[in-house]
A and B are shown apart, each in its own frame.
Chain A
Amino acid sequence: MSFLDILQSVLHGPFGNFPFAIVAWQAILVGAVYLVARLLRGRIPKGAFAPLRPLGRGASATVRNLYVLVAIGLLLPLAELFTGGYLISVTYGVELYVMLAIGLNIVVGFTGLLDLGYVAFFAVGAYVYGIFASPQLADLTHKTLYFLVPAGTTPGIHISMWVLLPIAGLVAALFGALIGIPTLRLRGDYLAIVTLGFGEITRIFANNLDTPINITNGPSGVTSIDPIWIGNYSFGDPNHYLGPFRFTPFLNYYYLVFVLILITVFVVNRLVNSRVGRAWGAIREDETAAEVAGINTRNLKLLAYASGGFFGGLAGAVFAAGQHIIAPESFQLFVSILVLCMVVAGGMGSIPGSILGAVVVGAVYFLTSQLQYLSILIFGILLVILIIFRPQGILPSAQRKLELEVDESGLPPHTETLPT
């Protein structure tokens, strides 16, 4: 019996299948956990919940953390080579989410815009890549524009990845700016719902744009997407060897996304530590005050959406190349919410935080898939617990730590007090 099986039986309880019986048992469990927590409250040193300490001396904490993460990121897949392709495929999946989490962090963490429709950028990037690197537009090139196409060429448009990846990112960025325009005046919860709506609208359009002109091929999705090529090396070829080890295409894509993440982190870091980043911070704190102080909130918000969109689109494009088929069902609302969980859990406004959050949440999600809905149930509980007891996340940035940390009195440190 594996750990997951045991967990499942414990949660199910001994009272049979009747839902009320199960609720009763789980209520008992919750009560027991609560009692234990109260008993232990005074006895666990506060340091146990302190943020993770950076390693080493000298260089700043954030940079040190990043070095560690980079080293792990480079070497982990090679270690997994020994156990087979499955862990690599999971790591690759998690890595894509890392990129999405960093992108979403720009919008949610740095600028304070609650975006529940981030999957739309992922989808746009994936479809742009998929449509222009597959036989999808064969009808267009070989029937309508046949006079422009030399004989014998493969059907469809196939643009090389050096051109197409940035284009996918840019189209997604443009899409982000377009989504941003109607939402400029919205705040908080309303913004969340509207962005959620845009995410869903994107998926519905992807599902339906097969008539009158077949752009996205509807629910069947785009198939036979080209893998990524660098020179003669195809990333999708399963017959590459590293010494005696045959490695899966996922490994190729893993390193590609790794490079992209490095670029992303560098760019985002530069952005955040510039006037743009400080302006975003001002918007996050108090938009009205920022406006009054002379910040062009409109342009900066659009820039935030566009930047977030760019990186989301980039991730989507690689996703399309790696999976060689994409379909609207891969771009559901759940993805947006999962990425948001990662950003929140990791620490909003903190790049290492979002990386760690994505790794932790992603790993749990993929590795517990045998539990099916039960893993989502546990997610829900953890999310509630996390946001109540540690809203600043696992690896918060110093700034957010000050803002969000709840001290012993139960009040956040910046509660307004009435003048005496």
Chain B
Amino acid sequence: MVRARGLGVLAAATLLPFAFACGGSSTGTTASTCKPDSVAQVPSTTASTAALAYTAAVNSLQSAPHQATGTVLKIGFIGILSGQYTSYGVDEQRGAQLALDAVNSAGGITVGGNTYTLQLDSQDDAADPTKGAQGATKLVDDKVVAVIGGTFSGATIAESKIFSDNGITQISPSATNPKYTSQGFKTAFRVVGRDDQQGPADADFIVKTLGCTKVGVMDDKSQYGQGLADAVNTQVPVDAGTVVDREHVDTNQTDFSAQLTTMKGKSPDVIFYGGYSAQFGPIVQQARRLGIKATFVSGDGSQDADAIKLAGSDANGLFASNAGPAPSLQPGYADFAAKYKAKYNADIFQYAPQAFDATNIIIEAIKKGGADKAAILAAVTATNNYQGVAQGYTFTSTGDVKVSIFTIYKVESGAWKAVKAVNLNVS
């Protein structure tokens, strides 16, 4: 009979590991210092007066764009405009477009006797390096003076060489891989912190703030996910915590029970997941079904509405970090969010404020140096504490931001609420 054979296999498989069964039983949230529920929302502050510059920029979005005159100056945008990660790229494109709208509706930029209307030239890299290289070449052909992009680090790195070869300033609103700025390209900038900064911040949060020392680390074997998880993996022991298990999944995977079951056997108090919300949500859902009670923490790839949607009823109590200050601490956020909603009838997904700020940095550079690529590059390099919607920006010699700010968020009542801010000063 068919089933006899199947049972035989089952029996053999069941008996064999008994020989090795010397691990203890697996339940228990035992750590007494581990208090994930004790962390609460950070109270919001009112806008500071030093932040008037961006407020002006955001307020000028109010006026209806009238017919702008003058020569057309193209600003390039390259990012993920197709595929499963489209939400990130489209969000950034919208942020950049809002910045350009504000300038155009105020009559464009007048510098050196010329008036310019700004136009966004968008290319899709679909997070693929090859497509990114082609899109970057197209932008070069289109004679853009500066570029906002890319979205994910892999394609951004591939594009960076092309922009560097052509002297075009590139500011990425979301590429967090350290490699992007360590290649030595003078044109590569970013307005967010790096994975090798975000990871330790997350690890510190888990071990020191939450007080949980038994940590399981999981990643999706993507460039971003593994990079972040590796950084956490290294920092946790430094903070006197223990990584009890390290698991990997695949970005196409939808059934995580094998990895989660192994993780459960090591009884971590906290599980850190490096990867995107498309997997984070289902992982949490399946973990709860398996009876895992550990707290879940993730990085900026999961700090968005999709994670809450996919995790469903298990969303409350999740933590995730993100680059940039909390929206309540971003002086211009509420205004920006309102303008975004008014134009696009949607909520900000994640990096729109960063894209908005990056575009404005370029606009400021054009105001100083005119429509010349080299002048724009010089002005951007010399950016000194430009106050954007999200934070103030100064670039280091490698193109990173001097002050990297990360915020840890928690899902409460079905929405992300900021619970901790981490400011890192990089000299």
Contacts and interface: CB of A to CB of B under 8 A. Distances in A.
Touch A–B, Cβ below 8 Å: yes
Interface of A: 83-86, 88-90, 93, 204, 207-208, 218-221, 223-224, 238, 248-250, 323-327, 329-330, 366, 369-370, 372-373
Interface in B141-188: 141-142, 154, 157-158, 161, 165-166, 177, 179, 183
A168 B248 CA distance: 30
B131 interface: yes
B222 interface: yes
B158 A86 contact: no
Contacts of A85: 137-138, 140-141
Interface string B219-230: 001110111000
A25 to B, nearest CB: 22
B129 A327 contact: yes
A248 B137 contact: yes
B128 interface: yes
Contacts of A370: 124
A334 to B, nearest CB: 10
Contacts of A84: 137-138, 140-142
Nearest to A207: B221
B137 A250 contact: yes
B134 A93 contact: yes
A179 to B, nearest CB: 22
B33 interface: no
Nearest to B125: A369
Summarize B's interface: helix, strand, loop or mixed.
helix
Interface centre among B81, B137, B248 (most CB of A within 10 A): B137
Contacts of B248: 208
A219 B222 contact: yes
Interface residues of B, number: 34
Contact of A86 (B82, B137, B223): B137
Contact of A221 (B130, B165, B223): B223
A318 to B, nearest CB: 13
Given A219-B226, A224-B183, A369-B131, A323 B158 contact: yes
Contacts of A327: 129, 154, 223
Contacts of B221: 207-208, 218-219
B141 A83 contact: yes
B421 interface: no
Contacts of B140: 84-86, 248
Contacts of B157: 223, 325
B34 interface: no
Contact of B154 (A83, A329, A372): A329
A297 B128 CA distance: 40
Interface of B: 81-83, 124, 126-131, 133-134, 137-138, 140-142, 154, 157-158, 161, 165-166, 177, 179, 183, 221-223, 225-227, 248, 250
A323 B129 contact: yes
Contact of B128 (A208, A238, A330, A373): A330
Contacts, number: 84
A88 B134 CA distance: 9
Nearest to A372: B82
Contacts of B183: 223-224
Contacts of B141: 83-86
Interface centre among A207, A248, A325, A373 (most CB of B within 10 A): A325
A251 to B, nearest CB: 11
B223 A220 contact: yes
Summarize A's interface: helix, strand, loop or mixed.
helix
7 contacts: A93-B130, A208-B221, A223-B179, A224-B183, A238-B166, A323-B158, A369-B126
A325 B161 CA distance: 10
A281 B88 CA distance: 51
A208 B222 CA distance: 10
A219 B124 contact: no
Nearest to B166: A238
Nearest to A92: B134
Contacts of B129: 323, 325-327, 329-330
A85 B142 CA distance: 10
Contacts of B222: 219
A273 to B, nearest CB: 35
Nearest to B177: A220
Nearest to A370: B124
A221 B223 CA distance: 8
Nearest to A86: B138
Interface centre among B81, B82, B130 (most CB of A within 10 A): B130
Given A219-B223, A326-B129, 7 more contacts: A218-B226, A219-B226, A220-B154, A238-B165, A329-B128, A329-B129, A369-B124
Contacts of A219: 221-223, 225-226
Contacts of B126: 369, 372
A19 to B, nearest CB: 18
Contacts of A208: 221, 248
B284 to A, nearest CB: 22
A90 B158 contact: no
Contact of B161 (A204, A221, A324, A373): A324
Contacts of A249: 165
A93 B129 CA distance: 12
Contacts of A372: 81-83, 124, 126
Contacts of A325: 129, 154, 157-158
A90 B133 CA distance: 10
A333 to B, nearest CB: 10
Contacts of A248: 137, 140
A327 B124 CA distance: 18
A319 to B, nearest CB: 8
A372 B123 CA distance: 12
Contacts of A220: 154, 177, 179, 223, 226-227
B165 A89 contact: no
Contacts of B142: 84
Given A329-B154, A369-B124, A373-B82, A323 B137 contact: no
